[in-house]
């Protein structure tokens, strides 16, 4: 059986605790090995982003969970015009 075709882009959405974010790292590495040229964007909280800063070849988009509607508006601006073929939560 051949591997599935590579998606054009992948977005990870993990806004929970640090421990949950660290459990996503093996998935990110697996995705990177399978599809080295596919852009990966990870939306995560501020604390989680600080922990993941050294993760290579992944765009980190920080969402301020404490900012309420302002945080949501800021995230919308950061992602304006972008489309992702795959969303993993």
User: Against a cut of 0.95, is the pTM above it?
Assistant: no
41-53 tens-digit pLDDT? 999 998 899 989 8
Burial of 11 (0-12, 13-18, 19+ CB in 10 A): buried
What homologous superfamily is domain 10-88 in, according to CATH?
Answer: Glycogen Phosphorylase B; (3.40.50.2000)
Q: Which residues pair with 43 in a beta bridge?
A: 13, 61
Each residue's pLDDT tens digit, 13-28:
987 777 778 889 999 9
Residue extents of the structural domains in the chain: 10-88
Short-list 28, 53, 25, CA closest to 38 = 28
């Amino acid at each position: 059986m051949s591997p599935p075709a590579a998606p054009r882009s992948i977005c990870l959405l993990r806004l929970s605790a640090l421990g949950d974010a660290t459990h996503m790292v093996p998935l990110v590495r697996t995705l990177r090995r399978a599809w080295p040229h596919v852009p990966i964007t990870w939306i995560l909280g501020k604390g989680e982003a600080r922990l993941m800063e050294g993760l290579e070849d992944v765009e980190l988009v920080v969402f301020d969970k404490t900012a309420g509607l302002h945080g949501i508006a800021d995230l919308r601006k950061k992602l304006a015009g972008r489309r992702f073929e795959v969303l993993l939560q």
